[in-house]
Amino acid sequence: MSKKRLLGKIGKAKNGYLSYDIENAKSSFFPVFCQLLETQFDAKPVGPPTSYVSEILGDVKIGEVVLGWGWDNWSGVYLMALTPEGDNIVQEVAGVIDPKLKKERFECHVHM
């Protein structure tokens, strides 16, 4: 039997811009994702995230571009563009993070 792995995908969000979603991620993966973005892209949170029972919402700045990030029980962990410039960053992040998701250390964050 193969082990479940985190899987990322790029799609279009309701705001018309790109979103990178890791749909099968538990909320426990959100701080790990934040750390990956901070390490790989010098991402800086724009204030603390807001937490609800089934949702974590916040903004993050990569370079001069502000993006939405968070977790919810239907999208998993996500990074969402809020502007056309954000679309390029979402694609760049997906290209770097996707290969890292294959590492076994993230399996504990897979929602079964």
Q: 81 - beta bridge partners?
A: 67
pTM above 0.75, yes or no: yes
- What is the rounded (10 degree) CA torsion for 72, 74, 80, 84? -150
pLDDT digits (tens, 9 = 90+) for 29-76: 999 999 999 999 999 999 888 887 788 989 999 999 999 999 998 889
Q: Which residues of 52-61 are buried (b: 16+ CB within 10 A; e: fewer)?
A: eeeebebbbe
**Residue 104: predicted pLDDT:** 64
Q: What is the CATH number of domain 8-102?
A: 3.30.310
